[in-house]
């Protein structure tokens, strides 16, 4: 796009300088061409002179002046070039350059913004991975939307993406779940029962128990083995989780069951490998992993004195299997409550001789749900939580996805229910979607007035000279690089920010200027601009899993 054209021009001038003996190759591929953060500093700026000055021990402004002389020979892109501060070179483009962005938007359509920067890199995105002990809560919802959108971004940029759900179907929480269901089953039969002190208290446990009674009456009342109750609870709850995920547009390519690690001896094998390396020892009847040798303050227990592994051990074994499956990049989307786990697992991976840099963890902060300005308390076991389904019922899928992506993952998220349901421009998702609907309305209005929608290749775009029009064109031109950077940095919130910026720029333009006017050339040019805005808004909304409505 335009940014790449400017970078190519700067590179050509750099090479000219090398050929003319003005400077050496020392700064090759080290300088940047970026959009300045503040207005008045040009359309693009390069730090070339300062990078080269550091390499050659020369005055950066002198080098900047030499670069400016070379750049000024260009007659196609640049309107003017200025030196700023310690040696930045600010480049101002000819206004007509910006309208060239509309051609690739028109030609590429739904593909505009897609790229192959991932070059087929094999990536796993593991997300949700909620224990099958209850419905998906609001916190799980943020994890789900974040992981799904990261996967969408990576796929859009040419990565080979696998979405995986790690199914925690082993361990203490499953025993507690089984005991909770058996107690509710007996309770519904008016039989003596002992509900576990830390059992799961939600209505969903009663519903599963009632289903068992409807199916087989009291025939399970004397079953001592936990397996039956654990299996029934697990199957029912996961079916509910799966239905919820599909409802919000999320599907997985694969599921990995924790019990597989035990059944296939992977847990014991990891311990044996660590022991062979002298990194495991016994103390207080427990088995310890020498994490202190990998920068931790103290060693960690990996097998309790009861003989049961701690969560660290199966997590290490699971991640080793990811390596064995050939993934180049393993992304884990976790809640902030996993922050203490991550270093231990990475230490285990390093201890096994694997490249821990291939694992990247995205930790997201918790969600605070506000209703009437008051925080809604949530607890899975006490069953006072709000489920994702309840939230979708109230605000809809689009608002759910948009609001969960509005903040950086490491930022606390306050989900304001009143704002999310407001049919006004104060509601950011409404504001963005309304921009797309308004653009569709402009086209309908033009057609009703007998104005034919223009063909871009046959349209003179020179009438686009208003500042608001330039700003819209510049914003459109930034989209492909933005998508690539958001994917590389695992930062889906940037797409939301872009959509809000583009929608805001369009609404500002619309409030100041008519699209369909008496001037046929101006009308045609503005309709082409609107077509480009509509296409990019639709692409951006689709990228984050939202609908681009034609009417609102």
Residue-wise pLDDT for 176-203, tens only, equals 999 999 999 999 999 999 999 889 988 8
Total number of domains in the chain:
2
Last residue of a domain, one of 62, 93, 124: 93
Domain assignment of residue 42, given as a range:
1-93
Q: Which residues pair with 289 in a beta bridge?
A: 280, 300
Residue-wise pLDDT for 201-253, tens only, equals 888 999 999 999 999 999 999 998 889 999 999 999 999 999 999 999 999 99
Average pLDDT over residues 416-434: 94
DSSP for residue 376? P
Q: Is residue 499 part of a domain?
A: yes
In percent, the amount of the chain with pLDDT more than 90 equals 88
Q: Is residue 270 part of a domain?
A: no
Give the strand pairing for 300-303 and 88-93: unpaired
At 131 the pLDDT is 87
What Å distances lie between residue 98 and 93, 438, 495, 541, CA to CA?
Answer: 8, 23, 21, 23
Contacts of 461 (CB under 8 A, 6+ apart): 96, 99, 102, 525, 528, 529
Q: pLDDT confidence of 383, banded at 50, 70, 90?
A: low
In percent, the amount of the chain with pLDDT more than 70 equals 99
Q: Is residue 353 part of a domain?
A: no
- Mean pLDDT is lowest, of 134-143, 370-379, 447-456, 460-469, for 370-379
Give the strand pairing for 413-416 and 367-371: parallel
User: Degrees (nearest 5) of the Cα angle 69, 93, 59?
Assistant: 35
Q: Is residue 172 part of a domain?
A: no
Average pLDDT over residues 406-427: 93
User: Structure tokens of 375?
Assistant: 């925080």
Residue 180 CA to residue 230 CA, distance in Å, equals: 9
Q: Is residue 179 part of a domain?
A: no
At 34, phi and psi to the nearest 5? -125, 160
At 381 the pLDDT is 44
Q: Is the CB of residue 274 less than 8 Å from the CB of residue 348?
A: yes
Domain at 536, CATH number = 1.10.730.10
User: Structure tokens of 104?
Assistant: 């690739």
Whether pTM > 0.85 for this model: the answer is yes
Domain at 76, CATH number = 3.30.1360.70
How confident is the prediction for the chain on average, in pLDDT? 94
Residue 109's region, left for phi above 0, alpha for psi from -120 to 50, else beta, is left
Q: Which residues pair with 415 in a beta bridge?
A: 369
pLDDT at 103 over 50: yes
- What's the alpha-carbon Rg for the chain, to the nearest Å? 29
Q: Is residue 387 part of a domain?
A: no
List the one residue out of 420, 301, 315, 408 whose CA is nearest residue 359. 315
User: Across 425-497, where does the E strand assignment appear?
Assistant: none
Q: pLDDT confidence of 533, banded at 50, 70, 90?
A: very high
Last residue of a domain, one of 93, 127, 159: 93
User: Degrees (nearest 5) of the Cα angle 49, 54, 60?
Assistant: 35
Q: Is residue 446 part of a domain?
A: yes
Last residue of a domain, one of 33, 66, 93: 93
Average pLDDT over residues 320-327: 97
Per-residue HEC secondary structure of 256-268 comes to EEHHHHHHCCHHH
At 164 the pLDDT is 98
User: Across 343-445, where does the E strand assignment appear?
Assistant: 359-364, 367-371, 374-375, 413-416
DSSP string, 374-404: EEPP--TTTT-PPBHHHHHHHH-HHHHHHHH
At 380 the pLDDT is 47
Q: pLDDT confidence of 374, banded at 50, 70, 90?
A: confident
Q: Is residue 269 part of a domain?
A: no
At 384 the pLDDT is 60
pLDDT at 483 over 60: yes
At 39 the pLDDT is 79
Average pLDDT over residues 518-528: 97
Average pLDDT over residues 82-104: 95
Helix (H) or strand (E) holding 285: none
Residue 471 CA to residue 98 CA, distance in Å, equals: 9
């Amino acid at each position: 796009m335009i940014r790449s054209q400017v970078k190519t021009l700067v590179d050509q001038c750099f090479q000219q300088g090398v050929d003319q003996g003005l400077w050496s190759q020392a700064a090759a591929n080290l300088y940047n061409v970026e959009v300045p953060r503040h207005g008045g500093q040009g359309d693009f700026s390069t730090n070339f002179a300062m990078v080269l000055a550091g390499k050659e021990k020369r005055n950066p402004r002198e080098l900047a002046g030499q670069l400016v002389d070379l750049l000024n020979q260009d007659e196609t892109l640049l309107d003017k070039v200025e030196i700023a501060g310690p040696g930045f070179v600010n480049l101002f483009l000819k206004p007509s350059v910006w309208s060239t962005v509309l051609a690739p938007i028109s030609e590429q359509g739904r593909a505009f913004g897609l790229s192959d920067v991932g070059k087929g890199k094999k990536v796993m995105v593991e997300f949700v991975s909620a224990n099958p002990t209850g419905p998906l809560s609001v916190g799980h919802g943020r994890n789900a939307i974040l992981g799904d959108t990261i996967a969408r971004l990576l796929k859009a940029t040419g990565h080979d993406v696998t979405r995986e759900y790690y199914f925690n179907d082993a361990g203490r929480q499953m025993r507690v779940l089984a005991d909770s269901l058996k107690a509710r089953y007996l309770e519904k039969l008016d039989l003596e029962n002992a509900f576990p002190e830390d059992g799961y208290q939600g209505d969903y446990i009663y519903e599963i128990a009632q289903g068992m009674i409807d199916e087989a009456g009291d025939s399970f009342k004397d079953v001592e083995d936990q397996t039956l109750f654990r299996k029934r609870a697990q199957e029912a709850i996961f079916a509910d989780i799966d239905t919820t995920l599909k409802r919000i547009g999320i599907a997985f390519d694969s599921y990995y069951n924790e019990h597989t690690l035990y059944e296939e001896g992977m847990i014991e094998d990891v311990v044996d490998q660590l022991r062979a390396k002298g990194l495991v020892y016994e103390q207080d009847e427990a088995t310890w992993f020498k994490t202190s040798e990998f920068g931790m303050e103290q060693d960690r227990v990996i097998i309790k004195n009861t003989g049961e592994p701690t969560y660290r051990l199966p997590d290490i074994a699971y991640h080793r299997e990811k390596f064995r499956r050939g993934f180049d990049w393993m992304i884990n989307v976790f809640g902030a409550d996993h922050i203490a786990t991550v270093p231990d697992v990475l230490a285990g991976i390093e201890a096994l001789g694997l490249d821990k840099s291939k694992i990247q963890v995205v930790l997201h902060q918790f969600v605070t749900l506000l209703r009437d300005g008051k925080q809604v308390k949530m607890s899975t076991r006490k069953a006072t939580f709000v489920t994702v389904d309840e939230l979708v019922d109230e605000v809809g899928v689009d608002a759910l996805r948009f609001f969960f992506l509005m903040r950086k993952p490491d930022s606390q998220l306050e989900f304001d229910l009143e704002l999310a349901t407001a049919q006004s421009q104060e509601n950011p998702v409404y504001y963005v979607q309304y921009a797309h609907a308004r653009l569709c309305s402009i086209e309908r209005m033009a057609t009703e007035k007998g104005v034919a929608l223009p063909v871009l290749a046959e349209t003179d775009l020179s009438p686009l000279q208003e500042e608001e029009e330039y700003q819209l064109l510049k914003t459109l031109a930034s989209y492909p690089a933005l998508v690539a950077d958001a994917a590389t940095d695992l930062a889906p919130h940037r797409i939301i920010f872009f959509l809000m910026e583009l929608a805001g720029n369009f609404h500002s333009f619309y409030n100041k200027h008519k699209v369909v006017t008496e001037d046929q050339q101006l009308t045609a040019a503005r309709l082409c601009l609107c077509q480009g805005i509509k296409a990019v808004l639709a692409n951006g909304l689709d990228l984050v899993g939202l609908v681009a409505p034609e009417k609102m």
